Structure formats: C-alpha cells, structure tokens
Amino acid sequence: MTEAKTLGTSYDRPASLDNPRSPRRSAKNNFELYAWMFMRLSGVALVILVLGHLLIMLMLDDGVHRINFAFVAGRWSSPFWQVWDLSMLWLAQLHGGNGLRTVIADYARKDSTRFWLNTILVVSMILIMGLGTYVIFTFDPNIVAS
C-alpha cells in the first residue's frame, strides 16, 4: 500500500499554537526592520526630550509652583519650545503607536480583528497628534478671561 500524496507542505501551514512565531506570509519589504530601528532611535530621542522637559519644569527656579498660564504662554511664544513640545508629542505618539501595533500583530488572531484594532489605533493617533499640533501652534497668550 502506498501513501496518499498531499498538496501542502509543512512550511505552508498557518501559524498555530505549536509554532506561534511562524510567519503568516513572506514580507517583500523591510518595514519591520525600519519600525524596529525607529523604536530604538525615537526611544533615545524621547529620553532626552522628556528628561529636559522634567528638568526645566520641575527642577529649575521654583519648580511646579511657577507653572501657570503665564509660564506656558511665555514658553509657547518661542518657536524653540513649540518645536520641543511638538517633537515630544509626535515622537511619543508614534513610538507608543508602533509598540501597540506590534502587540496587536502578536496577539490578534483573526485578520478582521487585527484590521479594526489597527484602524482604531491609527485614527486615534491622528486625532491626538492633530489636536496637539493645533493647540501648540494656535495657542493665544493674550486670552482675556470673561
């Protein structure tokens, strides 16, 4: 008696519990490599930006006691501080979003679940970055309380 021929081979099967890290499909580009490099570089940049932010806000002069509307207005009247805070916002959003995208890719089992979670992630990131950018660049230090 001869064995029946099979069409599939062992490497064509989808990722399963016995081999959870097996690739779903072969990638034709280096997106994951660039995403990995971005996480490392943005992490270093964020450490510098956040530690500088904390040093200025908490350690210098009177610390948190001097932070009020006038302090923020004076700070955001300078393009340097606008770019500093905008860089911190954008890098933090992109860094965190990329990390969450990786978690979704690792743990979402169905393609439709992965698609909707990634869609919600991208929409929320765009909204937060857009709103933050809008606030930083349109901040009016001359607002009069009514």
Q: Which residue has the tokens 């490392």?
A: 40
Residues (pLDDT < 70) of the chain are: 1-27, 145-146
pLDDT digits (tens, 9 = 90+) for 119-146: 999 999 999 999 999 999 998 888 776 5
First to last CA, the chain: 93
pLDDT for res 15: 53
Q: What is the pTM of this model?
A: 0.74
